[in-house]
Amino acid sequence: MELGEYYEEYRRTLAAEFEGAFPKDIASCIVAGYYAGLSIEQLHTFMAKRAEISSVSVALVNENTSVSDIEKIVRARETGRVYPAEILRHAFEPDEVKENLRAEVFNDKNA
């Protein structure tokens, strides 16, 4: 399978209708998956795990995501927390979350 076919096959397997090019960060992951030899199923697993981390880490003050932060996110998910706000409330202090999101995340508590 060529890269273009792999890219389109991934698109076809998504549950949502999607047309046009993928955002840069997603497209680069698709290409990396292709060159790493991942099956489409493995790429789906990879993308889901990536989203589990990035959906939370994007709200953190730090520009970069440390191993410690990743471990906090993973532990919170392992305890049954799903939504980014509940993970942030459980695993992080208000001062670790971007100021413009604190009140919403912490429901005006300690924000």
pLDDT tens per residue, range 66-106: 999 999 999 999 999 999 999 999 999 999 999 999 999 99
Structure tokens at 61: 């003050």
pLDDT computed for residue 108 by the predictor: 58
Q: How confident is the model at residue 109 (pLDDT cuts 50, 70, 90)?
A: low
Token pair 């090019």 is found at: 21
pLDDT tens digits, one per residue of 22-81: 999 999 999 999 999 999 999 999 999 999 999 999 999 999 999 999 999 999 999 999
CA distances from 46 to 39, 53, 100 (A): 10, 11, 30
pLDDT computed for residue 111 by the predictor: 43
Q: Is the pLDDT of residue 110 over 70?
A: no
Q: Is the pLDDT of residue 14 over 60?
A: yes
State CA 94 to chain mean position distance.
20
- Find all residues with CB under 8 Å of 30, minimum gap 6, and list them: 6, 7, 10, 22, 43
**Which one-letter DSSP state was computed for residue 97?**
B
Secondary structure of residue 60 in the 3-state scheme: strand
Structure tokens at 65: 């995501």
| pTM metric for this prediction | 0.82
